[in-house]
Amino acid sequence: MTGMSERGAPTPVAWARLPGPRSRMAPSDDDPQRTSGTRGGTEGRAVAPSGETIEEMSTDPPPEASSVDLPPGESAERVALGRRAMVRRSAAVLAGTAGLLAAPGLMAKAAADPGDALRLGGRNRAADSQTRLQSTTTVATLSVLNERVRRYEPNGDVDLVAAQLRLETPVPGAARPQVPDVATMAAGDIAAAGGLLYFGAESGGFDVVASQVFTSYFANYLHPVPPRHATVLDTRVLTGADREGFAAADLEADGRLVGGRRIALDLRVLVNTSAVPPRAAVAVSLQVFGAAESGVLSLYPAQTVADGVAVLAYAVLPGTVTATGAPFALPASGAAIVGLDTDDRLWLSVTSAAHVVVQVTGLFVPDPTAVVDTAESLLETSPAIRRVQRQRRALRRLTADSPVSK
């Protein structure tokens, strides 16, 4: 006889001799307990409540191993050990066979039907019943974690894992588009479709309002700019390095902007949306000094857009109305919110030569990661916040090639 070891390999053949039975199911004719009449004829018997007698198991000691015929050259002890090993191996074979027979039944279903236990790694169908998860813990009832690192982010700042949670869209491939019935949302419900995310918010009492969760694609983040970093242009104090950023025809000798020339202010010192699909906007404060003639300052969303928006008018008093008899340029100021182009540039022009001061007071960006960190802000940021910043930048880099147009 052979069996299977713990590792699944066949075991060596075990030889054993199985002698014939030494008893039978019927009572033996020469059983002394049945033929003996001493002790009232009830020795070796038990009396049942009905008066019948029940044969008790014999208490005679088991026969000696020497009474069993042994193979030539084998001892009784060795034969006994061989029998015990054979029994253990036979049990292992039977257990393994039972497991193989039961496995197909366990693996047949790839999904759990309503009423079944939750099936991890498979599809679970709840039919028309709600699946509820309750606990008495002092932390969040549900925690979703993905520990499988798939690959490294190209810049090497972070490791990449799959999304922790997915809100499946309504039935794909249906004849008509489907959307969640947000009008019947309960408090705390979350629904998504068409790129929009809705949350059932309590408005007081028993009223629930389906509120849209504004993502970076549909809303902007306002980031105030510190005053020490606000001034991006002051033609009164231009240095030689500053002039290199303009064409020769854009500036007069004293630094004033030439009338009729459209210039670009590169705001990448403050904001960088190169990896963020929607464009940014800025809140600007504008000032005009020393104009040669009265005119208008206009802002443009891009270089190629023909029409701009006049946001500031400035005036020059003629010499006929001044005490000195010389023209006098009145200072003028204004404010506006204007969008930047895809390269984060602000375009402006004046109709007549004038000194212009531009200060950016706020940034409207899709995400805080679009805000350029200054040396001061990096020094003031804690390690935990810097870690979050690295994560946000990596996410923006990964979405830089999104088909969504800027």
Residue 335: its pLDDT value, please?
95
CA 76 to chain centre: 68
Which one, of 361, 372, 354, lies nearest residue 263 by Cα? Answer: 354
Distance CA 89, CA 96 (A): 11
Which range among 97-106, 108-117, 184-193 shows the weakest confidence by mean pLDDT?
97-106
Average pLDDT, whole number, for the chain? 76
Pairing of strands 196-204, 207-213: antiparallel
Distance CA 346, CA 340 (A): 5
Distance CA 293, CA 308 (A): 20
**Which pLDDT band holds residue 400 (cuts at 50, 70, 90)?**
low
**Which pLDDT band holds residue 277 (cuts at 50, 70, 90)?**
low
**Which pLDDT band holds residue 302 (cuts at 50, 70, 90)?**
confident
Name the residue ranges covered by the structural domains of the chain: 1-22+67-100, 167-213, 221-398
Is the pLDDT confidence value at 39 over 60? Answer: no
- b vs e for 118-130, b when ≥16 Cβ sit within 10 Å of the residue's Cβ? eeeeeeeeeeeee
DSSP 53-107: EEEPPP-PPPPPGGGS---TT--HHHHHHHHHHHHHHHHHHHHHHHHHHHHHHHH
Mean pLDDT within 271-276 = 80
Residue 326: its pLDDT value, please?
92
Place of tokens 């008893």: 23
* Residue 201 phi, psi (nearest 5): -100, 135
Distance CA 398, CA 392 (A): 10
Residue 96: its pLDDT value, please?
53
Q: Kindly report the number of other CB atoms within 10 A of residue 41's CB atom.
A: 13
**Which pLDDT band holds residue 36 (cuts at 50, 70, 90)?**
very low
Pairing of strands 332-339, 231-234: unpaired
DSSP 117-146: PP-TTSEE--TTS--------SS-S-----
- pLDDT 10s digits, 115-137: 778 888 888 888 888 888 888 98
Is the pLDDT confidence value at 304 over 70? Answer: yes
Mean pLDDT within 107-117 = 68
Q: Kindly report the number of other CB atoms within 10 A of residue 251's CB atom.
A: 19
Cα→Cα distances 388→18, 275, 395, Å: 75, 17, 11
pTM above 0.75, yes or no: no
Mean pLDDT within 223-247 = 92
**Which pLDDT band holds residue 35 (cuts at 50, 70, 90)?**
very low
Place of tokens 């030689």: 240
Tokens of 156: 């090497």
E strands of 291-368, at which residues? 295-300, 309-314, 316-317, 328-329, 332-339, 345-350, 355-365
Distance CA 80, CA 64 (A): 12
Element (H, E) at 376: helix 375-380
Place of tokens 């960006």: 365
Distance CA 114, CA 127 (A): 6
Yes or no: say if 365 and 296 are a contact pair by the CB < 8 Å rule. Answer: no
Mean pLDDT within 307-319 = 93
- b vs e for 156-180, b when ≥16 Cβ sit within 10 Å of the residue's Cβ? eebeeeeeeeeeeeeeeeeeeeeeb
Distance CA 336, CA 283 (A): 6
Which range among 36-50, 96-110, 153-167, 333-347 shows the weakest confidence by mean pLDDT?
36-50
Pairing of strands 309-314, 123-124: unpaired
Is the pLDDT confidence value at 360 over 50? Answer: yes
Distance CA 88, CA 116 (A): 37
Residue 246: its pLDDT value, please?
92
Task: List all residues 6 or more positions away from 403 whose beta carbon is below 8 Å from its beta carbon.
Answer: none
